[in-house]
Structure 1
Amino acid sequence: MKSLFDEATFTEIQNRLNTLEQGSNRQWGKMTTAQMAHHCQLPLNIILEKETIAMKPNWLVNLLFKKSMYSNRPWRKNLPTIPRFKETEERDFKAEKTSLENLLQEFRAQRHRDDWKPHPAFGKLTKEQWGKMQYKHLDHHFRQFDV
């Protein structure tokens, strides 16, 4: 399973983000590329402790979702999104893409860190689990726009 803390995987994600364009072809869902770029920033902001969200852990969702986070199988199309992460506002593509690029660099800079706050829904995660989860989320949305 790929992790954003792996150099080759991080480079892959950067390259894929660089190919994302405002007019990239959406394969599923309702978000625009700008909305997707903003949506992908939210989990990174939580990890980097720039934002907090209150969530009630659900053991069944936790069990099923955690299993999917660490498998090599891509997430299926049209997965449900928690309300806080749903994107409905219009966004500026260039600004959102730049913000996502910057957050990815910040996240990458944390690769030697070992003390991570618990995830609001999944609890304590290791550094590897954080890296894998972020790769999986970005991969899902980059595939959504065929990048």
Structure 2
Amino acid sequence: MALPNIFTKSVADEIIERINALTPSTQGKWGKMSVDQMLAHCNVSYELIYDNIHPKPNFLMKFILKTFVKKVVTNEVPYKQNSSTAPQFIMKGDKDFDAERKRLIGYITKTQQLGESHFDGKESHSFGALNKTEWSNMFYKHLNHHLTQFGV
């Protein structure tokens, strides 16, 4: 079963509505992150594309990521609750809820407006070139996982 296409305006808008349903006091159903940390955590996926603030993996790490992690991240199988994450995605301390929410909505909007043709064959920070379906699955699956975690 195909995941919803995050590059379509209707799917991006639905995700944004879910984000806007969050409040600073929204509690997670599982996991250790607070809602503000979760928003910051979700922003990392987009920082890896749009902002040059995370170190690129070395050759060996990129080989491992492409060989063992890429399929898990880009396929249609939902993430398991309490799955482990890469170090750059681990959030510590309080984050600014409103700023992180605004940033995430901006990234989702920008990604949707650039569209699937912009991403088809685009090089990923960690996984090499991905096709438009892999990009969409990666974005949607991650956002859906965490929005479900926080009940929206």
Residue 15 of structure 2 is matched in structure 1 by 13
CA distance in 2, matches of 1:51, 1:3: 27
Residue 25 of structure 1 is matched in structure 2 by 27
What secondary structure sits across from 2:130 in the alignment? coil
Residue 92 of structure 1 is matched in structure 2 by 96
Read off the aligned partner of 1:107 and give its amino acid letter. T
- 1:67-114 CA-partner distances (Å, limit 9, x unpaired): 45322x321101111111100121111111111111111111210425
* Contact 2:37 2:91 (C-alpha < 8 Å) held by counterparts: yes
Is 1:57 paired with 2:45? no
Bigger Cα displacement from structure 2, 10-19 vs 40-49: 40-49
Aligned-pair RMSD on alpha carbons? 2.2
Matched residue pairs, number? Answer: 146
Query: Gaps (5+ residues) in structure 2?
Result: none
Residue 121 of structure 1 is matched in structure 2 by 126
Post-superposition shift, 1:115?
Answer: 6.2
Is 1:130 paired with 2:135? yes
* Contact 2:122 2:131 (C-alpha < 8 Å) held by counterparts: no
Read off the aligned partner of 1:6 and give its amino acid letter. T
Is 1:108 paired with 2:112? yes
Post-superposition shift, 1:133?
Answer: 0.7
Structure with more helix by fraction: 2
- Normalised by the length of structure 1, the TM-score is 0.86
Task: Mark the CA change 1:26 to 1:114 in structure 2 (over 3 Å): closer, same or farther.
Answer: closer
Task: Mark the CA change 1:140 to 1:115 in structure 2 (over 3 Å): closer, same or farther.
Answer: closer
Bigger Cα displacement from structure 2, 44-53 vs 1-10: 44-53
The percentage of counterpart residues that share the same residue type is 30
- 1:24-77 CA-partner distances (Å, limit 9, x unpaired): 121111111111111111111222254443221244774455145322x32110
Residue 35 of structure 1 is matched in structure 2 by 37
Residue 78 of structure 1 is matched in structure 2 by 82
- Normalised by the length of structure 2, the TM-score is 0.84
* Contact 2:65 2:127 (C-alpha < 8 Å) held by counterparts: no
